[in-house]
Chain A
Amino acid sequence: MTTPQITIYNALTGEIITRDMNAKELAQFEADKAQELKQAEAEAKAEAAAQVRKQIVLDRLGITKDELQTLLG
């Protein structure tokens, strides 16, 4: 697996450096990745729970999702 790359552009001098991330940068990048994964999982879980709650209500009402959309439209 290749080491993630970082590009540093100095807007004052125009100097561009592209290199492998150092240990500190890599640790932060891995933390960023973990945070995004955690966030995505939480959002997916919340979305799935919302769908279950919606279906429970639809079942109580005895209508389908499309029929609900028609009513709300």
Chain B
Amino acid sequence: MTTPFPFVAAQVLTASELNSITNLPSSTKTTSYTFTVANAGGRVIMNAAGSTTLTVNTSIFSAGDVVEISNIGAGVTTVTAGTATVSSAGPLAVPQYGGGRLVFTSASAAIYYPSAVTVAAPAASGLTFISTTNLSGNQTNITNCFSTTYTHYEVRFSNFACGGVINMRYGTSGTPDTGSNYCNYQLYVDSSSVGQGGYRFDDTSHCLISNGSAVRGNSLFLSVSSPFESVKTTFAVNACGTSGANSFGSLSSGLVNTSTSYTDLVLVFPSGPVTSGTVSIYGLAKA
């Protein structure tokens, strides 16, 4: 029940109709729509899965007329100036569960007052910063760093110092995966020896750096692919640093031989606690 509008001479107004004065006449649209005079004083509800428009034309409304707009559909609806002028201090795009009020100042001009809900800005392209934290102790767990937002991640270690070995494993909701599913391939060269290569299958972690004595490093570039997706997560790491009087460089890659969705990155320092260093994680935009 809604209050009749416009009310005309000799029309009978019932008590229930009058009591419904706070209940706006509503009209639901599932496709793009152009406002008509019947929408004055009422609410237009958009409910469409895809994008739609609400068009405002001139000579339909009068100064003082108001139209409420709400969008309950997944598709963004955009208040669009047809032949009339529409001014607004905010966005004209109305996301799902957003809305606003269109107030006419003349037959050819309206002001749109959007609610505080606005269409989310598209994700930035390129690398997006997720988090940074200081490394400390014998193990650093970074939880909730992987999500559906990104497929690929870049992890940068800076100015780290530790006992010589940095291992990595993944985890889900705070629980590290310690299964024997980690495969590693590594090439290592230092200034005191020729290069060495090696591999490990069915290990309980990935090896980022494996050095016989304490290391200091200024760079460790780690790429992690698809940790959150239920596919085999892969990694590649390029590390460079010093160990005593020697300098070293290593290239490693590997995969987890199980299709598990991970949310956490776990760093383990089994040959001695990390005494300094930070680790920053970035997500690579999908588009």
Chain A residues engaging chain B, CB cutoff 8 angstroms: 4-14, 16, 18, 21, 25, 28-29, 31-33, 35-36, 39-40, 43
Contact = CB atoms under 8 A, between A and B. Distances in A.
Given A11-B131, A33-B271, A36-B165, A28 B136 contact: no
Given A29-B268, A32-B167, A32-B270, A11 B143 contact: yes
Given A5-B273, A33-B271, A10 B138 contact: no
A18 B271 contact: no
B131 A21 contact: no
Chain B facing A: main interface SS:
strand
B142 interface: yes
Contact of A11 (B145, B167, B174): B145
Nearest to A47: B196
A16 to B, nearest CB: 7
Closest 3 CB pairs of A and B: A5-B137, A4-B138, A11-B131
Given A4-B273, A39-B210, A29 B145 contact: no
11 contacts: A5-B137, A9-B141, A11-B144, A11-B145, A12-B144, A14-B131, A21-B138, A28-B178, A29-B268, A39-B210, A43-B198
Contact of A29 (B134, B135, B143, B270): B270
A23 B135 CA distance: 22
A10 B137 contact: no
A8 B268 contact: no
Contact of B142 (A11, A18, A29, A35): A11
Given A18-B136, A21-B138, A8 B204 contact: no
A56 B269 CA distance: 38
Given A6-B141, A8-B141, A11-B144, A32 B204 contact: yes
A25 B130 CA distance: 26
A36 B143 contact: no
Given A5-B138, A7-B139, A16 B204 contact: no
B140 A32 contact: no
Nearest to B212: A40
B144 A10 contact: yes
B249 interface: no
Interface in B161-215: 165, 167, 174, 176, 178, 198, 200, 203-205, 210, 212
